[in-house]
Amino acid sequence: MQDEKQTALSRRNFLRAFGGASTAAAATVALTPTEALAYDPGTEEMRARYKETEHIKAFYRVNRYPEHK
């Protein structure tokens, strides 16, 4: 009986220690600073895309937006 109780207690302590160590390791990895990389959109993404076509003008007119010039 004493051996069973001692074995169960050591397993329980092992699992507590293992759980605490894995949580600490995960927190360490999450808090480790890394170098941020800048995003370069390139020339294709920087070009102007908005064109005020007739259907856009009609949308503004129907929805009573102030007139764009």
pLDDT value of position 44: 80
Share of the chain above pLDDT 90, in %: 9
Q: Report long-range pairs for 14-18 (Cβ below 8 Å, ≥24 apart).
A: none
Q: Are 67 and 60 in contact (CB under 8 A)?
A: yes
Q: Is the pLDDT of residue 7 over 80?
A: no
Which residues, 6 or more positions from 68, have their beta carbon under 8 angstroms from its beta carbon?
Answer: 52, 57, 60
Q: Is the pLDDT of residue 1 over 60?
A: no
Total-model pTM = 0.31
Alpha carbons within 13 A on the beta-carbon side of 2: 0
Mean pLDDT of the chain, nearest integer = 76
Q: How confident is the model at residue 33 (pLDDT cuts 50, 70, 90)?
A: confident
